Amino acid sequence: MLFMDTLVVAGTGKAIVKGTGKSTEIGKIARALEEIVEEQTRFHREIASLSNIIGKAVAVLVAIIACVVLFLHNAQPIEALIFSISLAVAAIPEGLPAVVTISLALATRKMLKQKSLVRKLPVIESLGSVDVICTDKTGTITENKMAVQEIYCNGEYLGAEEAREKAKKSEGIAELLFCGMAANDTMQGKSEGGKKTFNGEPTELALAIFAASAGISAEGVKRLREIPFSSQRKRMSVVAEMGGKVISYSKGAPEVILESCTHALLEGKKAKLDEKTRKQILGADAGMASKALRVLAFAKKELRGANGDEAESGMIFLGLQGMIDPPRSEVAGAIAIAKQAGIRVIMLTGDNKLTAKAIAGKIGIMGRVIGGEELEKMPKDEFGRAVGECNIFARVTPGQKFSILKALKAKGFSVAMTGDGVNDAPALKEADVGIAMGIRGSDVAKEASDIVLLDDNFATIVEAVRHGRGVFDNIQKFVFFMLSHNLAEVLVVFIASLAKAMAFTPVMLLWINLVTDGLPAIALGSDEPAANVMNRPPRKKNEEIVNGKSIRLMLTIGSIITAILLAIFFSYLPKGLALAQTVTFTAIVFYELMFISVIKRQEGISIFANKWIVAAVAASMLLQLAVLYTPAAAWFGVVALGLNEWLVIISGGALSYLLNTIAMKMMGQGKTLAAAG
């Protein structure tokens, strides 16, 4: 069978076209990808919703204040308009898009250094809310470095070293190892020193290297045709000519190979394969699989010709070879971190149930194992229950992976899914976070994914989740910081205007917006993830960036700042409007900058831990001082402040810092703003 998008290396032949375009296998996958509608991420929907709410609220407040300025202050319409526009600019957190982009970009850069290539920026935050990771076993959880560790031949188990020695004397062992080399797509070559080298897929590579180490060679074997492996067939066969005979060599899942055998090779002699021997072989398979070995069975058959249909029936069973693909050393620790973070890890593998359970046990994934055949027979409701409870799935096909993903999403889980093959593409696109393998992944899988793992390592996924959570925390801190103080600005202006006084001029409002909502606020987006970010569960699907608790806290902090600023403004108003405005104007800038330290303290982190925040705060303070003590003062309508005014500002700042800290502790803010939900 020829498949579209595969390469013909050499040769000629005739073929009957069964389908073209979307009727081909690759076409079916392409059609499946087209049918999957990519939705806007939950995070983007939340940002859009928040922006809409803020916009409407600011529009109402600005309209009210404009009316107050126009009618109570007897201002000209153009003056009221300018003031209203300035207040609107100051009240709206227009730095939010910049912070979101900067936070995502910085996280992308850090993740790339840790071998995660982000293809779609918004997915970083989606990673932070993932509560299920569905991962392949081979190469992601394991090292993808297979080596034959044990064989079963002539009714006995042999370790790799013993098998090598006995292969020189035992025809049965030699035939078993030769079959592993013949039914194999590994390419053989020679190094510069003349030593044999092999290049191919890890499982086949292990078989070829093991056979070669026992002195077995496939020279003189002329390959005639191949019946390729598929996840449905669970086997592959090669028809070859050797010594004037045409022989079919086959390898695959023990239960599948055994089903096609009528005889077994025992001590070099062909013997009838009775029920007792079959049970012994299946028992040997189970025993090897329980040691976390990946077990393959091998069989052969002499044919009359190369083109018959009987190449995979009536075969002679040769034996079993068990290979070990050890778990990566860091995976068990990464899975423990994932569990601690409230993330469920599900292992999906093509191996049998015993091998899957043994490997899963080594890395800390426990529980029931369900096989692909069981899933196939399950009614829809039972399938849903199984997916909701089971963490280990064996002998699953790409189609079943997709069904498992759909069932998890239907239950409300946020799912990250790994994949490497062309058939995995639909599942990667459907997942909340699709993660393709960079080393062994197909181009189609990478194109359908959101993230590519450059090292194919599960531990890299957990590290990416940490950065995703950090991004959400940073954006939440920014929103909290901005809205708390923007509220104070609006309240101060509104209450002062009711007393027929103007707390800030339009230029002052715009300047406050620049020096506090600019660099310092954006610098919050560069914070590293908090130390405890993986000690808490993923945020719930209904948890908003701004929730009930954070709104109450913002109102409290905004009110504290407003009360202190109004006290300062009205105490200095009898001494002149310019002085009152200058002191209040300077106070609000310094109080907003000081509040960053309050936020950082609640995280248990010093403000000096982030050099960008320190630089941004210092720059904003210097700019404010420049406004007060340079010719720029005339442009802003401010006056130089003396020692008494500075003592008042500092005293008010100390009170603000104390009351804000108490408010955050009393309202259960905990170590991070992310705990607000």
Question: How many CB atoms lie under 10 A from the CB of residue 100?
Answer: 22
Helix (H) or strand (E) holding 488: helix 458-498
Q: Are 247 and 302 in contact (CB under 8 A)?
A: yes
Measured CA to CA, the distance from residue 191 to residue 182 in angstroms comes to: 21
Q: Which residues pair with 269 in a beta bridge?
A: 266
CA 193, distance to chain mean position in Å, is 44
Measured CA to CA, the distance from residue 453 to residue 432 in angstroms comes to: 16
Contacts of 443 (CB under 8 A, 6+ apart): none
The CA distances from residue 428 to 28, 30, 134, 441, 449, in Å, are 15, 13, 11, 12, 5
Q: Are 250 and 236 in contact (CB under 8 A)?
A: yes
Token pair of 514, please? Answer: 């620049």
Measured CA to CA, the distance from residue 255 to residue 244 in angstroms comes to: 31
Q: What is the DSSP letter of 10?
A: S
Length of the chain: 677
User: Is 456 in the active site?
Assistant: no
Q: Are 264 and 280 in contact (CB under 8 A)?
A: no
H runs (alpha helix) in 75-201: 77-91, 96-113, 123-128, 160-166, 171-182
Nearest alpha-carbon partner for 83 in 586, 490, 633, 635: 490
Q: Are 417 and 400 in contact (CB under 8 A)?
A: no
The pairing of strands 451-453 and 433-437 is: parallel
Q: Which pairs from 46-55 meet CB under 8 Å and 24+ separation?
A: 46/544, 46/545, 47/96, 47/100, 47/545, 49/544, 50/479, 50/544, 50/545, 50/546, 51/96, 54/92, 54/93, 54/483, 55/92
Q: What is the DSSP letter of 120?
A: S
Question: Of residues 5, 131, 136, 455, which has the active-site annotation?
Answer: 136
Measured CA to CA, the distance from residue 571 to residue 386 in angstroms comes to: 69
Question: How many CB atoms lie under 10 A from the CB of residue 587?
Answer: 22
* 3-state secondary structure (DSSP) of residue 505: coil
Which residues are identified as catalytic? 136
